[in-house]
Structure formats: C-alpha cells, structure tokens
A and B are shown apart, each in its own frame.
Chain A
Amino acid sequence: MKKVAIEEQQKKFFLSVSPHIKDRLTVSRLMRDVIIALVPIIAFSVYFFRLRAVELIITCAFVSVISEYVFLKLRRKKLPRESSALLTGILLAMVLPPGLPLWAAAMGAVFAIIFGKQIFGGLGYNIFNPALIGRAFLMATFPVLMTTWTHPFTLDTLTGATPLGLMKFQHQTTSISNLFWGNVAGSLGETSVFAILVGAGYLFVRRCIDWRIPFFYLATVAVFSSITFLFNPMYGSPLFHLFAGGLMLGAFFMATDPVTTPISKRGRMIFGIGAGVLVVVIRLWGGYPEGVMFSIIFMNAITPLLNRYIKPKILGGR
C-alpha cells in the first residue's frame, strides 16, 4: 500500500539545484527595510519643515515611481518587484532644500530615475547613486533655488543659511545640540543627527548595510578635521563636521548603496577614506560649503576601478 503511495508521489518530485536551502533575505525586503529605516528621518523632517516636507516627499516619490513605470513600459521591459524607485524618490527628497518648488523637485526625480538609473540598464547597473545624480542635476540647473535655505518651523527664507554656510562665509558656529536634534537650516532629511542614527541602527540590526563605509567615512572626517582644527579653530571642530550638513545621511544612506560601492571589504574601506578626505577638502577649501554629494559621486566613479584592482587574497593564493 505504502509502496504505491510513494510511486504516485514520485511523479511530482521537484529537481532543485544545490544549495537546496537559501537565506530568506530578498532584494524586496532590503529595499523595504531601507524605507522603514528612513521613517524616523521623514518624521523629523515633517516636524521641522511641516507641509513643505510632506509635499516634497510625496512629489519626489510619486514622480520617481511613475518615471520608472513609463520608462520600462516604453522599453517593453518587465516591471520590477522591488521598491527601489520609491526609495530613490524618498532619498532625493531628503537631500533637497525645503523651499524648493515642486516642479523642480519633480524634474530632479525624473532625472534621477532616467539618467541616474534606467539608461544604465536599471537596478544593479547604474554607476552613480541615482538620488545624488538627481540632486547634482538640480544643483547645476537651479543653483539659486538649491542654495536657498529656510529655517525650521518658521519656514523663513530670508535669513536661512546652513550651519556649514554660516561657518564658511560668516564664521559663525552652530550649537552641537541644535545640530544633534536637527533644529537648523538644511536639506529635509539631513538636519537631525538623532533621527539618522535611529534609522542607521535599524539598518544594522536588519543587516542591510556593512559597517565599513560609514565607519571609515566618518572616522576619516573626524581625524582630518581634528588636524585642521588644531591648526586653525576657524575650520570648525571635528564634532561640528560630523554633525553638520549631509555627512551623517550620506554616510549611512547614500555611501552604503550596494550598487554603486565596491564589492571587496578593502575596496569599501578605501571608498570610505577617500570620501572622507574629499568632504573635508571641499568644505574647507572648495567653492561650496558642503561636499558630501560630490565626495560620494566621485567615489562612485572610481568604484569600478576599485572592483577591478582591489581583490581579496584568495585562500592558498599569493
């Protein structure tokens, strides 16, 4: 009797290829987790910048998803099953000034998705971080709009200047506690170090990101700015450099984008150190008060090179 049962079952045995068991982690879950990690940052941006934050986030997210949909439809490609376009949209909103007109934000989102990601072949093939490409496009196209800052709560644009701008052009310092909680002018999602650290904690707990790039990026900025601070206190303290501008957001949410960062551990270390040096150099001696975006885009550009030449030593190799 039993033999017959097995005989019947045999017909539906499934031939799988090894390994027959797999980790449960999926790309969709990774994307979803990064979006969840952004929730505290979104919440703080809405708290500080009110309706402006809501409008910008919704615009960028919506336009990003629609752009991807239209682009893939036109190319008759399959629609993705993960939410990376939504993530790019939210990340873009996080690095825009709160006062930016919605039409400009929408243009940035279209550019981020089409020229930052899709023309390279879609998810996994792009060289640069799509959200930062969107921001770079807006910086080049609308430099005034992109450097007009508003104060939290009052949304007053006349007196708005970012802490880095204040330091660079007016030699004013900003209190560390304001920087930590985020009660300063700046891009939507970059002002509150506290919210970013909460989100970063979630990324680590869910094993979404590797520690190397954020660690070496922040450590390099800390060491480099300590040295310059010793020579000239006008350059700002290391803690100020760590907390001000987009460094924290960039370190945990932009420089950890797997697609555009090196695949070897040593490569990631070099990426972090290189980006850290660039940030301090641009902040202190460059034309812009902030250098996080350029530092990451530049390191994105040399990532293929790092992948080619920085390989781990194989077991039994020389």
Chain B
Amino acid sequence: MRTKTFKQGIHPSEEKELSRDKKIESIPLPSKVIVPLSQHTGAPCKPLIDKKDAVERGQKIGDVDAFISCPVHSPLKGKVISIEKHPHPTLGEAEAIIIEVEEDEKGENRWSEKEVDLSSLSPEEIRKRVREAGIAGMGGAAFPTHVKLSPPSGKNIDSVILNGCECEPYLTADYRLMMERAEDCLFGLKAIMRATGAQKGYIGIEDNKKDAIKIMKSLTSGENEIEVVPLKTKYPQGGEKMLIKAILGREVPSGGLPLDVGVVVNNVGTAIAICEALKKGKPLIERVITVTGKGVEKPSNLLVPIGTPLRDILNYCGLKDNAKAIIMGGPMMGISQYSLDCPVIKGTSGILVLTEDEVSEDEEQPCIRCARCVDHCPMGLFPTTLAKLVKAERWEELGEYNIMDCIECGCCTYVCPSKIPIVQLIKWGKNEFRKITS
C-alpha cells in the first residue's frame, strides 16, 4: 500500500540529522525568566502577583476569565522583579512577568507521579485540569487545548489525531519525545479521546521517522482503538487539514474547523503535557525544543523552562561566527528574531540558526507564470494570482480566489523561481480582505 498523504506540497531538504540522535537534555538554570502574559491564541492573562512577590515553581501567576485563554505559571522558584513590556517571539513586544530565579531545593520532587485511571475522570474534569495546567497547543499555533477538548453541543467527535509529523525541516523535538516518552504520549492521546468522546485515535508520523513509528506501533499493538499511521515525508504533512485528509480522507470544509468533520488534532508534545497535568498535576512550565541549524556549535534537543531567554540557550549550545539569522520555529513558518532577550514560550518548537550563505536574499524578478506555486499549493489555490491582486490592491477580488483558505505554509514562496514573497503578500491580503468583509 502507498503511504498516505495529501496532494501537492514540497520536499525541502530535511536537515534533521543535525539533531535527531541527540537525547533530550536539561540546561543550567537561567538567572532570569520572562513569562509573557500572552503565549496562546486568545485573551492575554492578567497578572495574579505583584512586583517583589516570591513565587514558587509551578505557581499560577497569570489568568483571565475568558473561554479562549489559559493561565500561565511560574516556571521556576524566584522573585518577581517587574511586570513590563518585553520582546516577544511572535508579537514583537508584549506584557511579561520577569522573575529572578532562586535556588530551589525541592525542584522536580514537588510533583509525584500517580497512576490515573482515565475512566474515573469525567471529560469535564479532564478539561478543567488541562485548563488549570495552562496547556496550549505546542506545535506552534498555541491554541488553548481545553477549548479544543470542548466540542460544542451538536458536534460529534469520532476521531482524535496525534500529530507526530514534524514536517518542518530541521526540527526533531517531537521525534525525540516519541522516542523517549512514547508511553506518556499514548496516555495523553487516550485522555484526549476520553475528553472528546472519540472512539478512534490515530498517531500520524512521517515515514522519515521509522524508529518512532516502530516504537509507537509496538506500544499500541494490543489496542484496537488506536492506530499508528505512517505518512509520506512531505511538507506541510503536519498541517491539520493535510493530516486529516491523509489519514481519514476527510476534507475540513472551507472556513470550517477539524471538529466540523468530527476530528480533533493535537501535537505529541501537547499530549505529553496533558499526561503530566493529569498524572502529576504539573502545569506546563517547561517544554522540549530543538536548537539546531548550521550556525549552532552543538545542535541539541533541550528541555527548557518556559521563559528562558534565547541568550541563555544559545550560550549553552554555542553560536558560530557565521550565524546570520535566528528563527523561532522551523525554517518554513518560523519567525525571525530581533532580540536575544526573547523568551521561549509554550508554542516554541525550536530555535534555528541560519548561516550567511543560507539567508542570501535574491532580488525579486517578474512573475513568469510558471505556476509552480499553483502546482505545489496544498490547498489548491492560485498563489500567483492572489499575489498579483494584492500588489494591485484589488482587495475585493481576493474572495473569488479563496484567499482565506490559505494556510500560510509558504510552499509557494519556497518554489518560486522569481523569488516573489508570495505568502507574505497573501498574509497582507488576508488582513485587508478581513477589513472590507467585516
């Protein structure tokens, strides 16, 4: 049988060998952590503590009474030194709690692992604990997880997909998690199934991660309701819509959500966070990231406290002299960073350092209508036409070409021989289109 996949997409060089065999390790405690009050999609938190307050590791320090939001916790023991605007990896600048880290004798021991029988937990209880633990999607979008686990009445969820594709080149954090913490992963999946009432669970893994597929398969061999699905290695295989199409053959309707076709998709990292929240009562205060790229001395997979500044992490891994750009996330959708003061947040999947010869900017040439963007768009759009309409500021025509269906994966820009920043133009067009249609 052919490996399952979606139509079109691209095959960028994988570059995962830099860090794929590096075991997850911890880093020395940072002296200071920066906890942004907005690390998720939705309403930002309000601080629950004041300047000079002492905070414990795992203490809730920010929350807000809104459905689409989730609390933030202190990643380490310490003292609040200020609450101020601070460089933020995705928002440019945002309100953050800055904590001076202190010696912590209890450390990890404050949480003990208890066996949990999922059937004894009600879906409502799981959602509550997930929210209290401050869990947001760890694949990058950081959508509050408890919201995903709350299907609106009338929507029946039959399948949960665990996303282990990690289709972005370079990144290996999810791979390491599946290799080293497969059981927690599986527990997380079962918890999500319990919370949503889904009967079937799938773990989608790209076939460049054969070991992970093997481990997951042997772990689930006795379970009828869970299936490990090897997927073709192709970007953006890990996009929600592509994943659902590949595994279940269902298409999320234009403008709709996965739950419209009875599916909930979660990242493997999120599943592990859910497992920790349920078994230990431990909130989301640390995560695994890949620090990689040709500009890094020692590519690694690291378990870092949320709020750790980029500087501490890059000091630990070492920057090469030819380092040119620092990207938070993968090379396809990650965000270029302007300050090493930026902290790691819940949605940070990796830190990628590109070298001088990798970021050379080519001058833009006229579009020759070669249609490579059309032939590779995983959504079946006309990126070239959209880019031209945006350049001409013909906003009202963008709807005819389904601009809002663009998932911003960047395949169009990757393949463009004229080096036109198509996806950036489309993002701009989406903003303008929203304005005229609302």
Interfacial residues, chain A to chain B (CB-CB below 8 A): 2-3, 5-7, 9-10, 12-23, 25-30, 81-82, 122-125, 210, 258-265, 307, 311-318
Number of B interface residues in the complex (CB < 8 A): 73
B336 contacts A317, C-beta separation under 8 Å: no
B368 touches A20 (CB 8 A): no
List B residues at the A interface (Cβ < 8 Å).
6-7, 10, 12-13, 169, 241-242, 245, 251-254, 256, 311, 314-315, 318-319, 321, 323-327, 331-340, 352, 354, 358-359, 361-363, 365-372, 374-375, 378-382, 384-385, 401-402, 405, 410, 413-419, 421, 423-424
**Contacts between the two chains (Cβ within 8 Å), count:** 174
The one of B333, B380, B414, B417 that contacts A29, using a Cβ cutoff of 8 Å: B417
B365 and A15 contacting across the interface, CB-CB below 8 Å:
no
A19 touches B419 (CB 8 A): no
CB <8 Å contact, B379 and A315: yes
CB distance from A264 to the nearest CB of B (A): 6
Query: Could you say which of A14, A25, A265 contacts B359, with CB atoms under 8 Å apart?
Result: A14
Q: How far is the CB of B97 from chain A (nearest CB, A)?
A: 24
Given A16-B336, A30-B370, is A21 in contact with B12 using a C-beta cutoff of 8 Å? yes
Q: A26-B365, A317-B254 are in contact. Are A18 and B359 (CB under 8 A)?
A: no
Flag if A26 contacts B369 (CB, 8 Å).
no
Supply 6 further A-B pairs (C-beta < 8 A) apart from A23-B416, A312-B374: A16-B361, A20-B354, A22-B362, A27-B366, A258-B371, A315-B380
B424 interface neighbour in A17, A82, A123, Cβ under 8 Å: A17
Give bound CA distance, A262 to B382, whole Å: 11
Contact A16 B314 (CB under 8 A): no
Q: For residue A9, which residues in chain B have a CB less than 8 angstroms away from its CB? A: 319, 321, 323
B-side binding surface: helix, strand, loop or mixed? loop
B253 touches A18 (CB 8 A): no
Partner of A258, one of B254, B326, B368: B368
Question: Dominant SS at the A interface?
Answer: loop
Contact A3–B254 (Cβ < 8 Å): no
Looking at A262, A263, A315, the one whose CB has the most chain B CB atoms below 10 A away is A315
B253 CB, min distance to chain A CBs, angstroms = 5
Tell whether A263 pairs with B366 under 8 Å between CB atoms, given A23-B415, A316-B254: no
Whole-angstrom distance between the alpha carbons of A264 and B368 in the complex? 14
Q: State A310–B86 Cα separation when bound (angstroms).
A: 49
Q: State which of A3, A14, A261 has its C-beta within 8 Å of the C-beta of B315.
A: A3
**Which B residue's beta carbon lies closest to that of A19?**
B410
Verify B314–A6 contact, CB threshold 8 A. Answer: yes
Contact call A15/B380, Cβ cutoff below 8 A:
no
Interface centre among B333, B339, B358, B418 (most CB of A within 10 A): B418
Most chain B CB inside 10 Å of its own CB: which residue of A3, A122, A312: A312
Contact residue among B352, B378, B405, B413 (Cβ-Cβ distance under 8 Å from A22): B413
- Nearest-CB distance from A303 to chain B (Å)? 9
Query: Among the listed B245, B332, B340, which residue makes an inter-chain contact with A21, where contact means beta carbons less than 8 Å apart?
Result: B332
Contacts of A123 in B (CB 8 A): 366, 368
Cα A56 to Cα B242 in complex, Å, equals: 53
* Least CB separation from A121: chain B residue: B366
